[in-house]
Amino acid sequence: MGDERQIFETYLKAHELHLTQPRETVLKAVFATHEHFTADELIAHLRTLGTPVSKATVYRTLALLSECRLLIEHDFGLGRKHYEHASDLEHHGHLYCTDCGQIVEFYDARLNSLQDRISRQEGFEPAQFVVKIYGRCARCIEKMRRAPQVGGA
């Protein structure tokens, strides 16, 4: 974990909050992973470590980490948010498998230049640019191909 602790502590102080032990536990767990994760996955991980942090603390701490821009929240329309680190993050998109839930990141400089060009053309200053592609991953496509066909003539 790099400057995340300092950034978080500064943000909390500015909002008259404190870096409590449970918040620090969540912070360390969040930055120990480099994968996308949900709050429930983080809670389950903390439980396997025997770390007593309440569900409410996890959810509130993730919201604070998002507010201070250490985390990016993604909503893939499933009723739960996925999180990823925001630091040193080149703009990228996500491929989301609607069958198994796998998330694959991709980067293509052409998307960034297209966004820049369109924004300049329209005199627009973008705050966020999100690319999410929904579909099936190669593994799920292959699984569907191998599945026996039901019905038919």
| CB-CB contact of 58 with 39 (8 Å) | yes
Residue 131 in this model has a pLDDT that exceeds 60 = yes
Of 46-60, 117-131, 133-147, the least confident:
117-131
* Residue 20 main-chain phi, psi, to 5 deg: -75, 165
Torsion over CA of 27, 69, 90 and 74, rounded to 10 degrees?
A: 80
Whether domain 90-138 has CATH 3.30.1490.190: the reply is yes
Q: Are 142 and 99 in contact (CB under 8 A)?
A: no
What is the residue extent of each domain of the chain?
1-89, 90-138
pLDDT in tens, 68-116: 989 988 887 777 898 988 855 567 788 999 999 888 888 888 888 888 8
Closest CA to 97 of 59, 61, 133, 48: 133
Cβ contact 94:104 at 8 Å: yes
In tens, the pLDDT along 15-47 reads 999 999 999 999 999 999 888 899 999 999 999
| Element housing 30 (H / E) | helix 21-32
Question: Above 70 in pLDDT, residue 140?
Answer: yes
For residue 153, pLDDT over 60 is answered with no
CATH number of 1-89: 1.10.10.10
One-letter identity of residue 38: T
DSSP letter, residue 97 = E
- Prediction pTM value: 0.69
- Fold match, 1-89 / 90-138: no
Q: Is 46 helix (H, G, I), strand (E, B) or coil?
A: helix
